[in-house]
Structure formats: C-alpha cells, structure tokens
Structure 1
C-alpha cells in the first residue's frame, strides 16, 4: 500500500473528527427542559451514545489503515510483522507498495467528507455557543438566519448525512485496508458491518424526528420571526427537494 495515501487519511481523520465533535459543552438540564416535554426528542441519550460509538469506530478504522500502510513498508521489522498478522488475513496477499490505493471511489468519498465537514463547521460558526448536540433553548437564545441557515433550516443534519455517505466508500471501497485485505469476508466483520448499518439507519431516523421537534420548539420560542424565516427557507435538508 502506497505511503502517499497517508496524508489523505490524516486529512480524512481531521475532517471526520470536526464533523463528529461538538464545539461546545453539553446543554444543562435546565436548558434541555425549558420547553414542554411533548416536544423533547425521544431517545436523545441513545442517539448520543450511538453517535459517540460511530465516531470511535470510524476514527479507529482510519488509524488502523494508516498503521497497516506503514507496516507494509517495514515487513522485516518484528513489530510491523506482528501488526500485519493482527490486522490482515494470512491467506490474502497485501497489496504491493506500487498498487494504487487512492482510487476514484476514494476521491469521491473524500470530496463528500470535505463538503460535509465544511457544512458542519459552518453551522458551528454560525450558531456559536448556541450549537449543542442536545435539543435545547440556551440563555439569551436567538434565531440564526445567516449562512448556512439561509440555505436550509437544518444544515448540520444535511452535512452529517453527506459525511456518513462519503466516509463509507473511503473506508470500504477499492484501495482501502478492509477491501484489499478482504476483511468483509470474515463473519465477525460482516456482523459488525450489519450492526453499524443498523445503527446508521437508526441515527437517521432519530435525526429526522429531531428536526420536527426542533422546528416546533423554535416556532414556539420565536413565533412570527420563525414563521418569516421558514417562509424564506422552506426546505429542511436539501434545497428544492426536502
């Protein structure tokens, strides 16, 4: 595996870390319970745990792929040999150093991750201290209508979906550690893949339910101001579609 892929993996690590890490501490109990119980997101704690689990798993896969790439260039070293024995299959040849590992599929995924991470960062920047992973009304809360909230009402959720869509081909597509070492053929990895897919689907479900709760909460808090903004920004996730 080519060492030239390492800077790309490092950048991918940073992009995903930005996209999956809250810029602010969690909201307080008082801020979370400031609106009626009926508007509160069901399964909020579950969503947070799943989000953290996905973050740790994906960052670990990026790290392990980097370790495998470095180890293939020091195969005579006993430590590198041990690493390869643990992280690769003995019955599968590891791609040679000259094999291309930055494939078109990887580049498309990387581009999506970049766009998604930028969208998340732009949302953090626009909301400032108001951005939290918990649905809440903070002290001195105000309605933010500047970019990217002038494009869609929930740009951070759009960006999260884009990041998840991009990270999948980067870590599972041709040229990746998991693909080239045929790890998906192992039953344990297959089980993990199914579980991760189910987690991802559940996260999407919770995110969609959260959007409606947030809209109700903000409409109740800001009234006419929210109505005027929602009239200008009609779409929740994708301009012209949804």
Structure 2
C-alpha cells in the first residue's frame, strides 16, 4: 500500500464535500416552488442528505487515518486507530486500485462541475426547487452546455465517493468490515439513498424546466433551443 493514496483521498474528500454541501441557506418558504408536489428532497430529505454526507466523509477519514498509522506506527493516528478493532483484529492495507482511480476521477469531476454550477448561479442556487426574489435565467458557464449541470455533477461525485468508500482497495473492504452484516446493511443504505436522490433529481429536471418556462417564457424557449440537453450532451 502506497502512502501516495493519502493525497488522493484528501482530494476525494474535499471534492465530495463541495459537491454535497449547499452553497446558500435554504430558500424562504415563499420562494419554494410547488413543482413537483410533495418533493421528497426538501425538509427531512435534506437532513438525511447531510447525515449521509457526514458518514461517507467519516469513512474516507478512517481510511486516511489507517494508512498514516500503518506508515507511522508510533504517531497520533496510530494511537487513535489502536482503539478500532477491525473484524480480523488487524489494520489491513487499503490500496490504489483501478476502481479507486475511477472514483477519484468521478468525484473530482463532479465536485468541479458542481462548484462551477454554484458559481454560475450564485445566490440563486438552492437545494430546494424555488424561484428566488429577483430571479434571472442563467445561461453561462456549465448552463451553456446542459440545462441541469448541478444534478449530473452530483451523480458523478456521489458515484465516486461510494466507489471510494466501499469499492476494491477501500478501507471498508480491505479491513474486513464489509464481511459483517451491519456493515453490508450500512453500505446498502448509503447506496440506496444516493440512487433514490438521483432518481428524484431526474424527475426534478422536468419540473424545473416547466417552472422556468412559466417564469421566463420566450427567453427560456430560446435557451432551451440553444441548449437542448438536460443532463448529458448529445444523449439526454
């Protein structure tokens, strides 16, 4: 196992944090759209989103701590990890694998595109479906390529962090945690929640298009003509 994995894990951690953290406070109740009715990613759904984010970041931090403790067995990290009893009672060696390299690419790309989306929209970007006061139609940055870059970037970053946390070479797998039933359930819940969220995001694209068209009319029609794809250029 190479110590070189640590900076890559730190990049994954920061990229996912950016992708999964709202850039602005929640929208005011009067700004939140009713499209679609009963949107499941507002309110309690966002609370779960934050909890899942923290749990996944914790898993990555555990892997970083494990690697450092194995290379510096007398250091502070080693003392901290000595309190963690892995299933086989030893600290195995998380490693750099092709799956991990893919996870780094997906998370970094997703984090960057999500950040670019935040930057383009500025104060208009909220995790709730909303029309803000003095709202305007943004057609620059990633919004000049696809209409909903925030959602596809989230999908990339979340796929990357899940692959990093639970895939080949990960701390959870190499240290034997995923041999335990509770850990398998934990991983399954994390994956299921992320899949559910992104199904909701796909459904949101149509609702948001309808909402923005009603708000901006011909201006939105012109933008949609120039930017016909919602999530993936040339495909969808």
Q: TM-score surpassing 0.5?
A: yes
Per the alignment, in what secondary structure is the counterpart of residue 90 of structure 1?
coil
- Structure 2 partner of 1:21: 21
- Structure 2 partner of 1:138: 132
Once superposed, what is the RMSD of the aligned Cα atoms? Answer: 2.2
After TM superposition, list the pairs within 5 Å mapping 1:63-74 onto structure 2.
Answer: 63-74=61-72
CA distance in 2, matches of 1:38, 1:74: 54
CA distance in 2, matches of 1:66, 1:201: 26
CA distance in 2, matches of 1:215, 1:40: 15
- Structure 2 partner of 1:94: 92
CA distance in 2, matches of 1:173, 1:193: 10
Per the alignment, in what secondary structure is the counterpart of residue 239 of structure 1?
coil
Q: Are the equivalent residues in 2 in contact too, given 1:122–1:148 (CA < 8 A)?
A: yes
- Structure 1 partner of 2:142: 148
Q: Are the equivalent residues in 1 in contact too, given 2:121–2:138 (CA < 8 A)?
A: yes
CA distance in 2, matches of 1:199, 1:155: 20
- Structure 1 partner of 2:116: 122
- Structure 2 partner of 1:3: 3
After TM superposition, list the pairs within 5 Å mapping 1:88-237 onto structure 2.
Answer: 88-91=86-89, 94-95=92-93, 101-237=95-231
Q: Are the equivalent residues in 1 in contact too, given 2:151–2:231 (CA < 8 A)?
A: yes
Per the alignment, in what secondary structure is the counterpart of residue 142 of structure 2?
coil
**Where do 5+ consecutive residues of structure 1 fail to align?**
none
CA distance in 1, matches of 2:182, 2:3: 28
Q: 1:219 deviation in Å? A: 0.7
**Where do 5+ consecutive residues of structure 2 fail to align?**
none
Counterpart check, 1:42 vs 2:36: no
TM-score normalised by structure 1 residue count = 0.88
Per the alignment, in what secondary structure is the counterpart of residue 88 of structure 2?
coil
Q: 1:141 deviation in Å? A: 0.6
Q: 1:92 deviation in Å? A: 5.6
Describe the shift of the 1:39–1:169 C-alpha distance in structure 2 as closer, same or farther (beyond 3 A).
closer
Moved more, 66-75 or 213-222: 66-75
TM-score normalised by structure 2 residue count = 0.90
Describe the shift of the 1:120–1:138 C-alpha distance in structure 2 as closer, same or farther (beyond 3 A).
same
Q: 1:18 deviation in Å? A: 0.8
